[in-house]
Structures are given as C-alpha cells and as structure tokens.
Amino acid sequence: MANDSKKGTSSAISVTDVVKKYDGGTILDKVSFKVSQGSITVLVGSNGAGKSTLIKAICGLVQPDSGNILLFGAKAGSREARIVTSVAFDEPSLYADLTVFEHLTFSARLSGIEDSDERLNELLDKFEIGYLSERLPRGFSRGQRQKVALSMALARSFKVLLLDEPYVGLDSVGKSALVDLVKEARSQKVAVLIATHSPELVAIADQMITLSNGKVTYTGEPKLDRIER
Amino acid sequence: MNSELTVRSVAREINSARRAHFFDVNDKLTVVVKGYFIVAIVGIIVDLITNSSVLIKIDKPFIASFIRYIPTITLLIYTAALSVGLSAGSKGGPITVFRSEMRLVFLAGTDHPELLRRKYLKLIFLRSYISILVGVVVGALLYHLNNGYKLLPAVAMAIIAYTASNIYIGASVVGNLTRIRTEFVYLITIVLAVAVYISTVIGNVSAIASLGGVSLFAVSRFPTEALIVPILALAAVVAGFMLVARFELEPIERRSELISKLRFAVALRDIRGVISLSRALGDGGYTPRRLPGLLMNVTMRPRRSAIYLSCSNFYNWRLRRYIRLVLTVSVAVYAIDLSIAKATVDGLIGIPFVVLAGLEMSDTVGSLVDHPNQFINYPVEDGWLLSRSLLFPMVALLILASGINLIIFAATHLVAIEVSAPIIATMAISATFAGGFAHYRGSKGSSASMITMVPEAAAFAYLLDALPVVFANSWIIAVINTKSAMTHLQVPYSEAISTSSFLLVVPLAIWAYISNGRVVRAE
C-alpha cells in the first residue's frame, strides 16, 4: 500500500508551531504534535476548535500563516507530500457525471495504481455499496456519498491517511467497515490521523490530541472522557 | 509510477468519461428549458439592436459628444475591470477549481502549480476569445449605426475589451496573492473614478484621459500613450502566469463552490438564491459559518413580531449593503426618470435594478418563513405574515426612492416632480412586495430552499414563482409605453397615467395574500 519514504524520519507527520488566522480570528494557535508510522491518532475538540482546518493544512489545501508541517520530511502541500497522503473530508464531494466505480478507479490511478479492480471491489463490498458501482451519484444519500468518498480515499496508495469526521452519515455497516480498514492501514505502517467525536474511533486509537480554540490542550493516551472538552 | 505524464493522461480520461455521461446527467427537459431561454435572450438582444437606431438618435452633435467622452468611458471600463478583478482575487479568483476536482485531482500526487498554470492559460485564452469577439461585435454594430462613419472600428473595441479582460485577470492575481481588503478595493476604485472624472472636466486632451484614447484610432487621433494601458495589462497577465503557482487552494475551492451554486441558482432563475450567493461570494464565503444578525437577535429576545424583526434586520446591515442599496435605487430611479423624459430603452435598463432593490429590502421574509416557530408570536395561518414583515421595508424603500428622486429632480429637472413621484412611489411599493413574495416562495412556500439542489424538472416551478416579480415590474413598461404612444400621437402627457399605476399593486397584493394562506394551510 505504501511507498518507501525518501527521507527516513521517525515521525510520519510533524506539525510544529502552526498558526492560521481567518478574517481576524485565530483558528490554529501554535499547534504542535507528531504522528508516527503505523499508528492511529485521533484529533478531538468541540465544533470550531480547528480540527478541519488542521486536516486541510496537513493535506496542503490550506497554507499556514506560520509554522511547519512535514509529512515524511516533505513540506505539506508539496508534490512529495501529496503522493504519500490520502484524505477524506467531512463533506463528500463527487463528480455528478462519473460513476462510483469510475471515481474509485481514477482515484487509484492518480496515485499510480493501474490494476486495481480487485481492491476496489473489495472496498465496495466492505461498505456494501457494490450495487451502486455503475451508478452516477445523483440522488445518493449522505451516507452513500460518504461511503464512496471513503472508498476513494482508501483506494489510493498512501502512507498517511487523513480522515475528517469519517463517521458522519455512516450506518453501522459503514462504521464497522471503516474501523476494520483503518486498523488494516495501521498494520501496513500507515500513519492515520482522524478528526472525530466518535468514541468508537477513539477506542482504537494509539494517541489522542485535543484541540480547544485552536490550541492543543492534551496529547497522550486516548481517554474517552476528554471527548468534547 | 506516479509520473506527471500518468497524471495528465488520467486527467484527460476523467474529462473523457465525464463527457460520455453528459446525456445521463442532463435530461432532455433541461436541455429544452435551457435552449428556450438562450433563444429568448438572444431574441431580446437582436430586437434591441435592430431597434436601437430608432431609440438612440444619432446625429453629428451626438457623435461629437461621443468622441469627446470615449477615452473617459474606456478608462471607466478599465477601472471597473480593475475593481472587479481585485475583488474576485481577494476571494480566491480568478481560477475556478470545483471541489470534486480539487479533492480527486489536485490533492493527488500531482504537480499542482502546473495544474494551476494550465487552468490559468485556459482562462486567459477563453477570456481573450470572448472579449475580442464581444469587442468586434460591439465595434461593428456602432460602425453600422453610424452609417459608415468610422467612429469605432471593430479593432479598437476589440483592443478595449481585450485590455479590460487582461486587467481583470492581472488584478485578480494581485488580489489573490495580497488578499486585499474590500474596503481598499472600494477606495482604489473611487480614487481612479474621481481621477477620470477630473480629467474629463479638464478635457480629454489631459494625460489621464489619453490613456483611454485607444478607441480614437478610427478618427486618426490615436495617442501613443493610449497603448500604455493595454501593454501594462498584458504584462500583468504574463506576470500572473509566473505567480499563479503560489495560490492557496482552499479559497479557490470555496469560491468555486459558491460559483457552482450561483450558476445553479441562475439556471433555476432562483433570484433569491442568486442574491444570497452573490452576497456570500462578496464575503469570500466565510460568513455563512457565522450566525446571521437576525438569528442572533432572536436567540437573545425570542418571539418578536415580524415587523420588529424586519426593522432589526435593517439596522443590522453592513455598511456596504446600505451603499449597494442606495446605488441600486439611484440607478433604478434615474433610469425610470430618463425613460419618462427621453427613451423607453432607459426603463428597460432600470427594471433589473428595481427587482434587485425589492429583493434587497425584503429578504427578512425568507428567514421568517424558514423559522416560523422561533420568530412569530401570532398564528401564521391568518395569512398576514407577508404583509406585516414587508411593512417596514416598504416604507423604508418608499422614503429612500422618493428622496433620491427629489435629489435627481433638484440636480437635473429631468421630469416634473408631480409626474415622477407617483411612479417612483409605486415602484418602491411593488418592488418590495414582489421581492418579498419571491423570497417567500424561495423558502417554505416553494419546493426547495435557497441552495438545496432540486431535480431539474422543478425549474418549472421556479419559473412560475418568478412571474409575480415580472408582473410587478411590467407596469413600468406599460406606463412608459403608454406615455410614448401618447407622445407620438401628440396628446399631452397626463399625471393620471402614472397615478393610476398604483392600481397595479392591488392584484399583486391580493395574489400574495391568497397564495400565502394557501401555502401555509398546505404545510
């Protein structure tokens, strides 16, 4: 699944003193933490704490005003960093004019995987959306769209997996499949970072980071009682 | 493995696959509706052009005054392009990358500076083709209207349009990289516009006016300095190509999403959606995450009356919205005054502004209808929700429009005040009603809320909803046409015609009342 790192570093994701301001308000305030290879880290915090912005900054969608984000030694947003990263956002966004299977195929091919049918069918089966594979996403429910978006993220080749609120809209089948796939990624030495409020995901994590008003207030062992603090 | 070559070939395949599904996504009904509207709009344009030589009297004094002001007009076009470009850039423009493409392609292991440059080049070529085409058509039309007098050959207009397009793109790049604040954009625009105005007062031989003199090419007074602006604009576009790789992706994505929704709202003729999304675009898409002023007030002091809420919303407006409203109403009033005094075509220009003014003033209705349990302290079944919530906006627009009409009268003496006042007052009242009704139908009274995606077939429902707005403003055309006909027949103009236009408000109010009750009962 994962490529070898060009620059061997102990941390897969390294976030140092990251600051991001929007329209006068500070969304991320000197955020620092590390995520190591083969681990699951959950990012928790109340709404507006800065979780999504942080995920966007790590995947290169948002540029921090100051501070550094490195993924296997490569600067976030650089081509080297994006090659090793796969991300699924809280709001699934699909082409209206591509079928589900085309979405997955192109996602895999853009990360260099040419012969992916077996893996893609496996993902579709796990999320129980195989019957949708030849359909356009028009009229899909929120949960169905979320399953497609997660499948797209997992169809890629990656060493860093970023998931922003992946449980939103998922049914029990989807949640269970996601947990299995995330664990599978960990076993393949992938660094997984999940922004979530879900106790199920916190329960399988190796590390927990809490954000409050853009600041890191806790880093350490996952504790269910720290969710939403 | 993940070479740029592979990425390009996959990106091409994505486009190819999307094209293959074109007819699956766009049903025949939609194509027919869209085709119908394109034909209708083209028909109106052709009609205006073919009748323009009758509506605009072209004689030697007109041509002389036109030549005198051409450099000024050209510079104002450039100023507008600069202003719009800076503003679009500060919100994430000029490049558009929709979320699905951003997530699938840009966030893959692609060379995104290269992708941005390609998008930028595509934008430049597209805008160049369109601007040159528009310039040539306008130039050729003006040439034709002047019976062969070489006033504005197509080439001069093409240069102006192309330059304006380049200024827009160059300014967008600057706006994007500097994140220039809207207030500064306004300031720059005002300073430039004042400079152009002063230059006009001094005379078009002044240095500033000469910069816009490229359009004088045809009358052999082609000043060399007129080329400075086109050359600078071209240089800005080239510089933009070097800088576009530095663009942050998230603002591009956010702006693109709003544009996508805006296009959808335009396609559905959802005027309320268009206005709201335009506002969101103006704010860079950040403000929707905040609570609107109306909600905040109500949270603190719940169960206020509709009249109170419509007032409270009014004084919670941002400064720029007051400015926009004053400008909109001013243009509407001036255009109507002009249409009474001179030509019917001015009234046609004023009508969209009347609609906009009505929508601006009455947008509380949508919020009230969306959250009736939170806001209304009396039963909505009585059918007076619309009337009550529009009372204050109506009075406010009436005062504003009448005041502006007085100012225009004092400055121009264009139309006797006893003639224009009833027409302007009617305009204010009917515009507010029509706007409120459109907002109402855009909320729960309709099949979908503002930005909810609905099946294409629902477009017909929206078209029906737009009818009251059309009817509410059709009286303007009716009055103006009657006046024109009477003038033609040498019958003295009568204030009674304008006063009687009040009557046209009555059917609208009845319609709103009946429909309001029916919709509420249906819920």
Residue range B33-66, pLDDT digits in tens: 566 556 656 655 555 555 555 555 556 666 666 6
CB-based contact, A156 to chain B, within 8 Å: yes
Q: How confident is the model at residue B270 (pLDDT cuts 50, 70, 90)?
A: low
Instruction: Please judge whether A61 and B250 are an interchain contact, meaning their C-beta atoms are less than 8 angstroms apart.
Output: yes
Tell me if B34 is assigned to some domain.
yes
Q: How confident is the model at residue A210 (pLDDT cuts 50, 70, 90)?
A: very high
Distance from C-alpha of B409 to C-alpha of B397, rounded to nearest angstrom: 18
Tell me if B8 is assigned to some domain.
yes
Instruction: Please judge whether A82 and B109 are an interchain contact, meaning their C-beta atoms are less than 8 angstroms apart.
Output: yes
Give the pLDDT confidence score for residue B51 in this predicted structure: 52
Instruction: Please judge whether A98 and B249 are an interchain contact, meaning their C-beta atoms are less than 8 angstroms apart.
Output: no
Domain count, chain B: 3
Tell me if B262 is assigned to some domain.
no
Q: Could you tell me the two tokens for B252?
A: 């591009």
Question: Mean pLDDT throughout B465-471?
Answer: 49
Q: Give the distance from residue B228's alpha carbon to the nearest chain A alpha carbon, in angstroms.
A: 36
Domain that holds residue A147: 11-223
Residues B342, B470 within the same domain: yes
Tell me if A4 is assigned to some domain.
no
Give the pLDDT confidence score for residue B383 in this predicted structure: 42
Residues B230, B314 within the same domain: no
Residues B251, B286 within the same domain: no
Contact A206, A39 (CB under 8 A): yes
Domain that holds residue B9: 1-55
Give the pLDDT confidence score for residue B445 in this predicted structure: 45
Instruction: Provide, rounded to the nearest whole percent, the portion of chain B with pLDDT above 70.
Output: 52
How many angstroms separate the Cα of B182 from the Cα of each of B188, B255, B314? 10, 15, 22
Residues B273, B233 within the same domain: no
Q: Give the distance from residue B231's alpha carbon to the nearest chain A alpha carbon, in angstroms.
A: 33
Question: Mean pLDDT throughout B410-435?
Answer: 78
Tens of pLDDT along A69-101?
999 989 988 888 888 999 999 888 888 889 999
Q: How confident is the model at residue B193 (pLDDT cuts 50, 70, 90)?
A: confident
Q: Give the distance from residue A221's alpha carbon to the nearest chain B alpha carbon, in angstroms.
A: 31
Tens of pLDDT along A1-43?
444 444 444 688 999 999 988 766 788 989 999 999 999 999 9
Mutation target vs A (from B103, B116, B246, B256; most A CBs, 10 A cutoff): B103
Give the pLDDT confidence score for residue A183 in this predicted structure: 92
Instruction: Please judge whether A106 and B13 are an interchain contact, meaning their C-beta atoms are less than 8 angstroms apart.
Output: yes
DSSP conformation letters of A120-158: HHHHHHHTT-GGGTTS-STT--HHHHHHHHHHHHHHS--
Residue B273 C-beta-side C-alpha neighbours within 13 Å: 27
Indicate if the pLDDT at residue B497 is higher than 60. Answer: no
Instruction: Please judge whether A98 and B17 are an interchain contact, meaning their C-beta atoms are less than 8 angstroms apart.
Output: yes
Question: Mean pLDDT throughout B29-33?
Answer: 59
Kindly list the residues from chain B whose CB atom is less than 8 angstroms away from the CB atom of residue A103.
Answer: 104
Strand partners, A87: A162
Residues B369, B329 within the same domain: yes
Instruction: Please judge whether A98 and B1 are an interchain contact, meaning their C-beta atoms are less than 8 angstroms apart.
Output: no
Tell me if A45 is assigned to some domain.
yes
Residues B213, B293 within the same domain: no
The long-range contacts involving B33-40, CB below 8 angstroms and separated by at least 24 positions, are B33/B456, B33/B459, B33/B460, B34/B267
Question: Mean pLDDT throughout B14-37?
Answer: 71
Instruction: Please judge whether B2 and A106 are an interchain contact, meaning their C-beta atoms are less than 8 angstroms apart.
Output: no
Residues B179, B37 within the same domain: no
Residues B320, B414 within the same domain: yes
> Are β-strands A74-75 and A66-71 bridged in parallel, bridged antiparallel, or unpaired?
antiparallel
Which run of H or E residues covers position A69? strand A66-71
Q: What is the average pLDDT value for chain A, to the nearest integer?
A: 87
Kindly list the residues from chain B whose CB atom is less than 8 angstroms away from the CB atom of residue A62.
Answer: 248-250
Tell me if A5 is assigned to some domain.
no
Kindly list the residues from chain A whose CB atom is less than 8 angstroms away from the CB atom of residue B99.
Answer: 93
Tell me if B60 is assigned to some domain.
no
Give the pLDDT confidence score for residue A110 in this predicted structure: 85
Instruction: Please judge whether B14 and A87 are an interchain contact, meaning their C-beta atoms are less than 8 angstroms apart.
Output: no
Show which of B236, B257, B278 is a domain's final residue: B257
Residues B238, B373 within the same domain: no
Tell me if A158 is assigned to some domain.
yes
Q: What is the average pLDDT value for chain B, to the nearest integer?
A: 69
Kindly list the residues from chain A whose CB atom is less than 8 angstroms away from the CB atom of residue B249.
Answer: 60-62, 77
Instruction: Please judge whether A95 and B104 are an interchain contact, meaning their C-beta atoms are less than 8 angstroms apart.
Output: yes
Q: Give the distance from residue A48's alpha carbon to the nearest chain B alpha carbon, in angstroms.
A: 10
Residue in B closest to A112 by C-alpha: B2
Kindly list the residues from chain B whose CB atom is less than 8 angstroms away from the CB atom of residue A74.
Answer: none
Surface of A (59-88) touching B: CB under 8 A: 59-63, 77, 79, 82-85, 87
